[in-house]
Amino acid sequence: METQNLRIAIQKSGRLADSTLQLFDECGISFPQNNNRLISLCYNFPMEILFLRDDDIPASVASGVADVGIVGENVVMEKEKSVAIAERLGFAKCRLSLGVPQAMEYFGTSSLNGLRIATSYPRILARFLEENNVQAEIHEISGSVEIAPGIGLADAICDIVSSGSTLLANGLREVQTVVKSEALLISQPELSAAKQVILDRLIYRIKSVRRAKKFKYIIMNAPQSAVPVISGILPGMKSPTVTPLAESGWVSVHSVVEEDDFWEKIEQLRDAGAQGILVIPIEKMML
Ligand code: PRT
Ligand code: ZN
């Protein structure tokens, strides 16, 4: 019997590669490790992995060479291929921004009129300029965009920014975000039913892993009398679990707290009388 695998295209090496492999690992998906691989068949999940340059991933998915792929939103937007977003993955977050020399005055997009702007993202930039009624010259270069103004190749740039240190090191400042980006799981718009079932299984695992990362499991001891206040601090998913301790009048409280406001919650819990607070990472959180 022929078995159908979901074929997924991922970046061979680069900024997306490590996080993508980590995600597969956290989803319990393993495959033979071999650095010169082009394609690997997973041991324990009906999926084969195709290793490509990120620029080729949207086209490989749109053409059916791969069924799905993991790639930056910026590349998906630039390539304008017919693919669907199956899931946002939340890593490799960055933005495509306009940068100008530190000394240049900038009063808004109209300041870009008549400039030469260097970028590796000509389509996204052209759309942005058109939407903002700016007439500027787009100068397409494939790498080291940030050095273009310094060597007189351009007046401004449109490039990926994460921390902003590359712009700073090249005497540029970020003046405008054009688009925001994160890694996406993209898919062919029309997958076969059998492959859609595999994709749904993959997405379920990814969601469980991502949800778990947002939360911590916490355990603390507290006087019984403090439980109403503590329950109010811990909205959790359901009300907290409260079990009696051997020492009378004391209980153990278990709950789940969101990472975002984690430290504030801990301070409030201590003020409410909680002691011996333990914080435990959650590996998966299923719905
Ligand atoms: O070889 P291949 O073509 O597959 O890879 P690549 O060299 O084209 O891409 P790669 O691996 O550099 O990046 C892959 C994806 O990671 C990008 O398409 C983005 O979606 C995402 N990403 C996230 C980034 C960054 N952060 C990032 N900081 N891509 C590039 N950068 C570069 C940017 O170009 C600039 O040179 O980092 C510099 C800016 O960083 P800061 O921190 O100094 O602002
Ligand atoms: Zn690339």
The Cα 123–Cα 73 span in angstroms is: 14
Residue 248 C-alpha to ligand 2 middle, in angstroms? Answer: 63
* pLDDT reported for residue 147: 97
**Element containing residue 50 per DSSP (H, E):** strand 47-52
Contacts of 273 (CB under 8 A, 6+ apart): 222, 223, 225, 226, 229, 230
Q: Please tell me the predicted confidence (pLDDT) of residue 14.
A: 96
How remote is the CA of residue 15 from the centroid of ligand 1, in Å?
A: 6
SS3 letters across 175-200? EEEEEEECEEEEECCCCCHHHHHHHH
pLDDT at 167 over 90: yes
Q: Is residue 38's pLDDT more than 70?
A: yes
Question: Ligand 1: which of 55, 160, 168 to mutate, most ligand atoms within 8 Å of CB?
Answer: 160
Strand 172-181 relative to strand 94-101: parallel, antiparallel, unpaired?
antiparallel
Rounded to the nearest angstrom, the distance between the alpha carbon of 77 and the centre of ligand 2 is 13
CA 103 to chain centre: 33
Q: Distance, CA 54 to ligand 2 centroid (Å)?
A: 5
Q: Which range is least confidently modeled, 187-201, 235-249, 259-273?
A: 235-249
In the chain, pLDDT over 90 holds for what percent of residues? 89
- What per-residue confidence (pLDDT) applies to 239? 76
With a 6 Å cutoff on the Cβ, whether 108 touches ligand 1 is no
Q: Are 29 and 48 in contact (CB under 8 A)?
A: no
- Give tens-digit pLDDT for 92-139: 999 999 999 999 999 999 999 999 999 999 999 999 999 999 999 999
Q: Each residue of 184-237: pLDDT tens digit?
A: 999 999 999 999 999 999 999 999 999 999 999 999 999 999 999 999 998 766
Ligand 1 atom closest to residue 73's alpha carbon, by position in its atom list: 20
What pLDDT, in 10s, does the model give residues 57-79?
Answer: 999 999 999 999 999 999 999 99
Whether residue 259 is predicted with pLDDT greater than 90 in this model: the reply is no
Residue of the nearest CA to atom 1 in ligand 1? 53
Residue 23: is its pLDDT beyond 90?
yes
- Mean pLDDT score across all residues of the chain: 95
Protein residue closest via CA to atom 13 of ligand 1: 15
Q: Is the pLDDT of residue 178 over 70?
A: yes
For residue 1, is pLDDT > 60? no
> Rounded distance, CA 149 to CA 162, Å?
19
| pTM, full prediction | 0.92
For the cut 70, the answer to whether the pLDDT of residue 3 exceeds it is no
| pLDDT value of position 128 | 98
Q: Which two tokens stand for residue 267?
A: 């301070």
